[in-house]
Amino acid sequence: GAVVSQHPSWVICKSGTSVKIECRSLDFQATTMFWYRQFPKQSLMLMATSNEGSKATYEQGVEKDKFLINHASLTLSTLTVTSAHPEDSSFYICSARLGGDYGYTFGSGTRLTVV
Amino acid sequence: AQTVTQSQPEMSVQEAETVTLSCTYDTSENNYYLFWYKQPPSRQMILVIRQEAYKQQNATENRFSVNFQKAAKSFSLKISDSQLGDTAMYFCAFKAQGGSEKLVFGKGTKLTVNP
């Protein structure tokens, strides 16, 4: 089946540094990927939609300069959290749209802790 | 804008019994898709079942089935013969056919299966 590989699964970084999270579609081409943030015991909050070869579309309230999204190829989308602060600590999940309206497949998530 | 409501924050069921999780949604669209996703403690999002709105027949996947009531905008999930491995957060999600590719999630129901 369609698999999205997300790395790293967890990362700890110091305040002020940047962290990059990668999502790769392993056996299909993902023209559209989605990035979510999930707080403990809460639902997924869509941050942005990335389309291969074009600028990402950010949801209202999401700082595009803090959460940089790049979707340079049909199999790779990255989320970079720039100048991370403790309040950016969260669980980040990517998702790829499957063709033919077969829904979506999700990465395994990245737990980011900023200290 | 579409909204998805899961009115049961938490539920529990005894192993081997049946449990039903509720989901209602609000939309002006006529064609759309509905999904139930499972998020176990590993936090990997797993598709449980999907339903196309134009299909009157309720979707079934082994022990999982839905009761789709389009007029009432209701999409409940029934889990039969509950197993310990069913313990997870369950999210109901909506996607309009065409237009936005975003998934709209409910807030989730935490299901615990007790031995």
Per-residue model confidence as pLDDT tens digits over A18-76: 999 999 999 888 889 999 999 988 999 999 999 888 889 999 999 999 999 999 888 99
The residue of B103, B109, B111, B112 whose CB has the most chain A CBs within 10 angstroms, and thus the best one to mutate to test that interface, is B103
Asked whether residue A83 carries a pLDDT value surpassing 70, the answer given is yes
* pLDDT at res. A85: 96
For residue A42, which residues of chain B lie inside 8 Å, CB to CB? 107-108
**CB-nearest partner of B44 from A34, A44, A106:** A106
CA dist., res. A18 & res. A56, Å (int): 19
pLDDT tens column, A65-74: 999 999 988 8
CA dist., res. B92 & res. B24, Å (int): 9
CA dist., res. B38 & res. B77, Å (int): 11
> Mind listing the pLDDT tens digit of every residue in chain B (115 residues)?
889 999 999 999 999 999 999 999 999 999 999 999 999 999 999 999 999 999 989 999 999 999 999 999 999 999 999 999 999 999 999 998 877 788 999 999 999 999 9
Q: How far is A21 from chain B (nearest CA, A)?
A: 16
Closest-CA residue of B relative to A47 is B102
* pLDDT at res. A101: 66
DSSP of B42-89, one letter per residue?
T---EEEEEEETT--SPPEETTEEEEEETTTTEEEEEE-S--GGG-EE
* pLDDT at res. A22: 97
- Joined together, the tokens standing for residue A69 give 């999204």
The residue of A3, A43, A62 whose CB has the most chain B CBs within 10 angstroms, and thus the best one to mutate to test that interface, is A43
> Residue A45 carries which DSSP code?
E
Question: In the A/B pair of chains, how many CB contacts fall below 8 A?
Answer: 46
In sequence order, the β-bridge partners of residue A19 are A81
CA dist., res. B37 & res. B51, Å (int): 12
